[in-house]
Structure 1
Amino acid sequence: MIGKDWVSERFAEHQSRLHSVAFRMLGSSAEAEDAVQEAWLRVSRADTGQVENPAGWLTTVVARVCLNMLEARKARREDPVGALPPEPATTTVRPADPEGEALLADSVGVALMVVLDTLTPAERLAFVLHDVFAVSFDEIGPVIDRSPAASRQLASRARRRVQGAAAASDAAQSRRREIVDAFLAASRNGDFAALLELLHPDAVSGDATGAHAVAAIFSGRAQAARLALVDGVPAAVWSHRGLPKAVFDFTITDGRISGIAIVTDPDRISDLDIVFLSRSSDGDADQERT
């Protein structure tokens, strides 16, 4: 048996990576922390005499914990009517770990967490471990009680679904951005007809109801509002002296703007991740994070 000090040192050495593994598996920073804590309880009691690859062994332990949590989450969703509602897999509240959230966005895309959540626990684990962390299927197989070949098939199936969702998400985001950008241009130019074209007949903004009423409010306005990504979604932001003061959140229905909510509360705005967008001379998008 290797000493407890050795186990503690190896766990501390790899803890950041283990949290990243768990976060990508579970989509929740709080649940990831719980998974890492449970993994520590397991490894602190385990016989580590045969451990030759601490990083791989610890990743496997965390993966098993996450698999159990995903299966428990799935079971809660299948509870009969009358049971307590399941805990949501995704939330509009931003994770407590911004760095982990950024890493997740780089690897699979925040929007695709919703798609990952539609996979079976085994599919999700096989895909994330292999495609994000380069774990071999020989190592993944025992975690999900599958052969390496079967694990490869699960990861391949998950990859196809994620790639398809990525293409659809990109197209939807691009179209939403075009609509918001066109609305801002029509608003600045006082182009009432263009605003009506962009607004849904039943559009609502504050007390204004109907496309004509909403267009009348915004026609000739939005001179200083800028196109931005707000928590990853195309929106508009008005700033004063470099500080965001108002966020325009658009609801799109059937390709038209059906609602415009204006957020002015400083505390709410401070919690938002705002990235201003502009057009460079070659037509590509430049980004400027607040």
Structure 2
Amino acid sequence: MPSRLWHCGRVTPAPGTAEEFASHRPRVFGLAYRLLGSAEDAEDTVQEVYLRWGKADRAAIGHPGAWLARVATNLCLNRLTSARAQRERYVGSWLPEPVFTEDGTLGPMESAEQRDAVSTALLVLLERLTPTERAVYVLREAFAYNHRDIAAVLDLSEANCRQLYRRAVQHVAAARTRFEPAPGRQRALVESFVAAAREGDLAGLERVLADDATWWSDGGGNVSAALRPVVGREKVMRFLGGVRRFASGWALTVAEVNGAPALVAHAAQQLVAVASFELRDSGIAEVRVVMNPDKLVFAGRQFAAMSPGA
């Protein structure tokens, strides 16, 4: 995929540095994205990791992958600490940046566990953790690090890492939906929602929404969006009545985002919104819509590359 990395004029890498780093880049990006929930910030982190890699004495680095993970994780911890204060001032609901995943940007999506590890629902839940809890959880769950290796990455004791991991798992498990429909049913629900939205079929939308459905909008104060979650099917339906008029010129399609079927809205080939869904057998329980243009920059580049004629 397009990259803005490698050559920024601040460092002269040794011969072969870029090629050597390139083999590790997807893993570093995937780690940073899971830790930050922001593809743009993850790219900036990869850039900084690369600069440090270019300056490092690589003869002294026994395991490049472990070294890169350590540097990336600690850079992300610094970003997460400052991001918390910024998000307290965020206008409306904060949601993670969407990423199209059919191209392997976040790694293979062959199993339910791999898809779940990058799901929008999980990234939202990870916001409840402390930065260190989040780092331990991601390294353990998404990258299968053992506690000894996690301790080395974070400069903590192995016992402390185990405690942080147990605490993180408890926080995440307490808030998770455990009754998701089968993958085929999930796709059918999303496609039914998108078809009904495309046709302005409010009755069709009502049929696929759960009684306690909740609609979250992330406009960041840059575009018109609900500042608070809209809770309950009837209220969501009334809200969608207004959205239908506002979004009358949008084209709606289904694509894989963060490992799951999602609604993609675009106008004149410009990405304008991405909606992720949390599903139960009773229907769509959560809709999380990212409309903030600042959060669609990375996905917008992906979308442009996926579009016919790109």
Band of TM-score, shorter chain: 0.5 to 0.7
- CA distances 1:172-208 after superposition (whole Å, capped 9, x unpaired): x77xxxxxxxxxxxxxxxxxxxxxxxxxxxxxxxxxx
Q: Does 1:113 align with 2:123?
A: yes
Aligned twin of 2:166:
156
d(CA) in 1 for partners of 2:28, 2:93: 20
- Point out where structure 2 has 5 or more consecutive residues left out of the alignment: 1-12, 182-186, 213-230, 256-261, 265-280, 284-310
Determine if contact 1:18/1:62 at 8 Å carries over to the other structure: yes
Which range moves more in the overlay, 40-49 or 103-112? 103-112
The offset of 1:23, in angstroms, is: 1.1
- CA distances 1:21-48 after superposition (whole Å, capped 9, x unpaired): 1111111211111111111111111222
The offset of 1:62, in angstroms, is: 1.1
Which among 224, 248, 269 is matched to residue 252 of structure 2? 269
Q: Does 1:59 align with 2:63?
A: no
- CA distances 1:247-272 after superposition (whole Å, capped 9, x unpaired): 75567557653332254635352477
Q: Does 1:41 align with 2:84?
A: no
- CA distances 1:57-106 after superposition (whole Å, capped 9, x unpaired): 1122111111111111124356xxxxxx2488943763366644685733
SS at match of 1:229: helix
- C-alpha change, 1:20 and 1:118, in structure 2 (3 Å) is same
- Point out where structure 1 has 5 or more consecutive residues left out of the alignment: 79-84, 175-225, 276-282, 286-290
SS at match of 1:52: coil
Determine if contact 2:81/2:131 at 8 Å carries over to the other structure: yes
**TM-score (normalizing by structure 1):** 0.59
Q: Does 1:129 align with 2:139?
A: yes
Q: Amino acid of the residue matched to residue 161 of structure 2?
A: S
d(CA) in 2 for partners of 1:18, 1:32: 9
SS at match of 2:234: strand
Aligned twin of 2:23:
13
Determine if contact 1:39/1:61 at 8 Å carries over to the other structure: yes
- Root mean square deviation of aligned Cα: 3.8
d(CA) in 2 for partners of 1:5, 1:89: 46
Aligned twin of 1:95:
99
* Identical residues among aligned pairs (%): 30
Determine if contact 1:23/1:100 at 8 Å carries over to the other structure: no
d(CA) in 1 for partners of 2:145, 2:99: 25
**TM-score (normalizing by structure 2):** 0.55
Query: Which one scores higher on RCO, CA 8 angstroms, separation ≥ 6?
Result: 2
Larger Rg: 1
Determine if contact 1:29/1:97 at 8 Å carries over to the other structure: no
d(CA) in 1 for partners of 2:153, 2:92: 25
The offset of 1:140, in angstroms, is: 2.0
Which range moves more in the overlay, 148-157 or 108-117? 108-117
Which among 259, 271, 277 is matched to residue 236 of structure 2? 259
The offset of 1:8, in angstroms, is: 2.6
Aligned residue-pair number: 209
Aligned twin of 1:220:
none
- C-alpha change, 1:154 and 1:92, in structure 2 (3 Å) is closer
d(CA) in 2 for partners of 1:93, 1:27: 6
